[in-house]
């Protein structure tokens, strides 16, 4: 038999640690005044341009367009291609139309770098109505994901396991959201895709551990639940480490060799994978142990004192 690691000893410290991380994420959101919303969730104009090899870079473009207000400039693709994405929110447009704002950006860049050195390869405008619709759809999608996972886990396992699984994926989502808030990573549809990917990865790991707990419970029904939890997690730990390390190696390659939104996507996945392994052991399994302990305490009721008769 493999060595059994007493994970149950660390359930309470882990709960305190997770609460601190989530609180830090909420603080980051409040300090920075919300997320660094991408054009998907923030109405405005987005342009993709290409500069000649001897022209300036990101900071030069941002300084050139400073008269337009707060402008987001990001280097995308291969750095040698010198492609940049420029985003101006609707709040900064001062009521100017898409054509007027786009022409103003192009004229300012051509005046700074030369007409022959600036090429506009793409220009899109997202209206406030579409932006709000996309935001609402993202929220509904996240809610349906949690509801479906809760339903599936309730059918396959007992309710306490289902609640533990939902708490684990909620924990992972909050950790990623807090990381995005602090790092000022652009929050867009790619970020939503990363969160949903992590939720799927996390619930898969949780279901594997829950299956082993159920199997071990059948083989050793006389053993206390704490022993079964520690044994099950210890027996699946090797599989978890190998699977996570293999997946992270592929994602790390994306993070190193890509740029722009794909690099942000890979970084969010790396953070989420670490959180997913942690939440499976210390949040999902920890909650099952907490539920069982609470139920056992309620079952043990103090006996009423006997009435004294004279």
- Three-state SS letters, 171-202: HHHHHHHHHHHHHCCEECHHHHHHHHHHHHHH
Over the stretch 51-66, which tens digit does the pLDDT of each residue have? 876 667 778 888 888 7
Contact at 8 Å (CB) between 208 and 59? no
Over the stretch 135-183, which tens digit does the pLDDT of each residue have? 677 778 778 877 887 787 778 777 888 889 889 989 999 999 999 989 8
Separation of first and last alpha carbons in the chain: 62
Each residue's pLDDT tens digit in the chain (310 positions)?
568 899 999 999 999 999 999 999 999 989 988 887 776 676 677 788 888 766 677 788 888 887 776 677 777 766 677 888 887 766 555 555 556 667 778 888 888 888 778 888 877 776 656 556 766 777 787 788 778 877 877 787 778 888 898 899 899 999 999 999 898 888 888 888 888 888 888 888 999 999 999 899 888 888 898 999 999 999 999 989 999 999 999 999 989 888 777 888 899 999 999 999 999 999 999 999 998 888 877 776 655 555 454 4
| Domain parsing of the chain, residue ranges | 7-36+130-298, 44-126
Is the pTM for the entire model greater than 0.85? no
Cα–Cα dist 26/191, whole Å: 17
Cα–Cα dist 81/51, whole Å: 8
Cα–Cα dist 56/73, whole Å: 13
Options 2.40.110.10, 3.30.70.3400, 3.20.190.10, 3.30.70.240; CATH of 44-126 = 3.30.70.3400
**Structure token pair of residue 19:** 């609460």
Cα–Cα dist 236/214, whole Å: 13
User: How far is it between the farthest Cα atoms of the chain?
Assistant: 110
Nearest Cα residue to 39 out of 162, 191, 256: 191
Which strand ranges, in their side-by-side order, compose the sheet holding 118-126? 71-76, 83-89, 44-51, 118-126
Contact at 8 Å (CB) between 64 and 158? no
Q: How are the residues of the chain apportioned to helix, strand and coil, as percentages rounded to the nearest 5?
A: 70, 10, 20
Kindly list the distances between the CA atom of residue 268 and the CA atoms of 23, 60, 284, in Å, as whole numbers in the listed order: 19, 28, 21
- The H-assigned helical ranges of 81-224 are 98-113, 128-156, 159-183, 189-219
Q: Name the burial class of residue 77, with classes exposed (0-12), middle (13-18) and buried (19+) by CB atoms within 10 angstroms of its CB.
A: middle
Cα–Cα dist 202/184, whole Å: 24
Residue 246 is classified by DSSP as H
Contact at 8 Å (CB) between 218 and 72? no
* CATH of the domain spanning 7-36+130-298: 1.20.1640.10
Residue 280 is classified by DSSP as I
């Amino acid at each position: 038999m493999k060595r059994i690691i007493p994970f149950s000893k660390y359930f309470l410290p882990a709960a305190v640690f997770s609460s601190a991380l989530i609180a830090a994420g909420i603080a980051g959101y409040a300090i920075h005044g919300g997320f660094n919303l991408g054009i998907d969730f923030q109405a405005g104009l987005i342009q993709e341009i290409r500069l000649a090899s001897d022209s300036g870079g990101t900071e030069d473009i941002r300084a050139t367009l400073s008269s337009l207000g707060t402008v987001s400039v990001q280097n995308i693709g291969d750095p040698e291609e010198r492609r940049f994405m420029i985003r101006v929110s609707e709040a900064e447009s001062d009521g100017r139309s898409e054509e007027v704002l786009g022409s103003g950006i192009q004229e300012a860049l051509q005046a700074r770098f030369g007409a022959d050195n600036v090429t506009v390869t793409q220009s899109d405008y997202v209206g406030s109505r579409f932006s709000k619709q996309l935001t609402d759809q993202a929220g509904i999608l996240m809610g349906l994901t949690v509801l479906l996972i809760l339903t599936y886990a309730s059918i396959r396992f007992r309710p306490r396991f289902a609640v533990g699984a939902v708490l684990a994926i909620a924990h992972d989502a909050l950790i990623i959201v807090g990381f995005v808030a602090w790092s000022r990573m652009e929050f867009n549809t790619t970020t939503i895709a990363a969160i949903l990917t992590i939720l799927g990865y996390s619930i898969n790991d949780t279901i594997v551990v829950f299956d082993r707990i159920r199997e071990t419970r059948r083989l050793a029904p006389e053993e206390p639940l704490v022993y079964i939890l520690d044994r099950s997690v210890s027996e699946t730990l090797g599989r978890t480490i190998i699977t996570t390390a293999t997946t992270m190696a592929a994602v790390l390659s994306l993070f190193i060799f890509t740029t722009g939104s794909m690099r942000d996507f890979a970084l969010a996945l790396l953070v989420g994978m670490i959180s997913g392994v942690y939440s499976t052991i210390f949040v999902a399994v920890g909650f099952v142990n907490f539920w069982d302990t609470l139920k056992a305490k309620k079952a043990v009721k103090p006996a009423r004192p006997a009435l004294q008769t004279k």
